[in-house]
Amino acid sequence: MKPITYTRGQALPDLLARRILVLDGAMGTMIQRFKLTEADFRGDRFKDHPKDLKNNGELLSLTRPDVIRDIHEGYLAAGADIIETNTFGATSIAQDDYQLGSLAREMNLESAKIARAAADKFSTPDRPRFVAGALGPTPKTASISPDVNDPAARNVDFETLRASYYEQVEALVEGGSDLLLVETIFDTLNAKAALFAVGEYFEKSGQRLPLIISGTVTDASGRILSGQTVSAFWYSVRHAQPLAVGLNCALGAALMRPYIQELHRVAGDTFISCYPNAGLPNPMSETGFDETPDVTSRLLRDFAVEGLVNIVGGCCGTTPEHIGAIRDAVVPLPARSLKRAFFYKETA
C-alpha cells in the first residue's frame, strides 16, 4: 500500500510516534456554562426566525463567535494539542431541523476560522496546536429505521448524506482545519458516506489531511448502534487509511476500556484515540456527569500505562479542568507503539 503524504498536519505522525497528544473536551458542556438565552442564539440576524434556536450550538459560530472562541482558548490554555471545530451538527441535514440547512457551509467555514485563530494564538515552534474539522452524525441514519414498526424504512439515502458531508468537508478545509475527525459514529453506513465525501474531496482538491475516525459503543453489548463489534467497525473503515481510529462518547473511561483494548489489538497499523464521557450522566452534577477531573485523568493514565493510546481527550461532561488534569497525567508517559506503519509517510 502506497504511503500517504499529507498536505496539512504533516507534523502529526511524528508527534504521535513520540508522545501522547491531548484532544480538547466537550463543547456543549461549556456552552451551557454561559447560560445563554434564546436571544443570544438568535442575535440580530435571526431575531425573526420561525424556529426555536436555543439548542443549536453550531449557530453560535455566527451569532456569538466570542463564546466559541473563549471555549477553544480555555481548552488550549489547559494544554490541548488539538481542538475540534464547533461543527458536530453543522451538516445541512442536521441544520434542516432548524430550517437553517442553507447556512451549513457558512457555519463550517466560520467555525474553522474561529478555531484556526485560537490555535494560532497558542501555537509555538516547539508546541504546535492543531485544528480538527469535526464531522458528527446526522439526525437521519442510512441503516437504522426511524420506525420500530417498519424495519425497512429509511429517512435518508447515501447520496444525500454524501453531498451534505462533502459540503462540510470543503468548508472545514477552506477555513483552516489541519485534520478531519469523523466522530461519534453509531451508524457505519453514515460514516461510510462521510468517508466517501472526504476521499472525493481529497481527489478533487489535491489536498490530503490526516483523518481520525471515532466510533461510539452505546452499551454493554460492545457494539455500535448499527450492530458492529469494535473489530468489525475497524475493518469496515480501514480502507480510508486513517491516521488514528478510536472511540468516544456514550461511555466513561472505565466502561470504554475493554473496547479500546480490542481496538489496540486489531488496529496495529494506525494510532488509537480515546475521548470518553466524564463517567455516567448525573443531573445533580454541574457538568451533568459523574466524574471529576481527577477521576477521569486517573483512568486515562491507566490506559497510557498499558500502552493503549496515542490521543486522549474528553467528550460529554468534560471541561478545561478535565483536559488539564488529563494532560498532566499522560504527558510523562510514552505513546502506544505501532506494530506496522502502512498509512502514512514519515515527515523528513
| Burial group, residue 67, by CB count within 10 angstroms (0-12, 13-18, 19+) | buried
**pLDDT at residue 139 above 70?**
yes
Measured CA to CA in angstroms, residue 82 lies from 26, 46, 178, 246 at distances of 13, 31, 9, 15
CA distance linking residue 82 with residue 275, whole number of Å: 12
Residues 6+ apart with CB under 8 A from 175: 85, 108, 109, 110, 111, 112, 113, 115, 116, 133
| Model pLDDT for residues 26-83, shown as the tens digit of each residue | 999 999 999 999 999 999 999 999 999 999 999 999 999 999 999 999 999 999 999 9
Domain ranges of the chain: 12-330
Question: 200: number of CA atoms within 13 Å, CB side?
Answer: 16
Question: 162: number of CA atoms within 13 Å, CB side?
Answer: 11
| Model pLDDT for residues 76-99, shown as the tens digit of each residue | 999 999 999 999 999 999 999 999
At 253, phi and psi to the nearest 5?
Answer: -60, -40
CA distance linking residue 134 with residue 179, whole number of Å: 9
| Burial group, residue 251, by CB count within 10 angstroms (0-12, 13-18, 19+) | buried
| pTM, rounded to two decimals | 0.96
CA distance linking residue 73 with residue 41, whole number of Å: 20
Quickly list DSSP for 140-152: S-SSS-S-TT-TT
Selecting from 3.10.129.10, 3.40.50.2020, 3.30.300.30, 3.20.20.330, what CATH number does the domain 12-330 have? 3.20.20.330
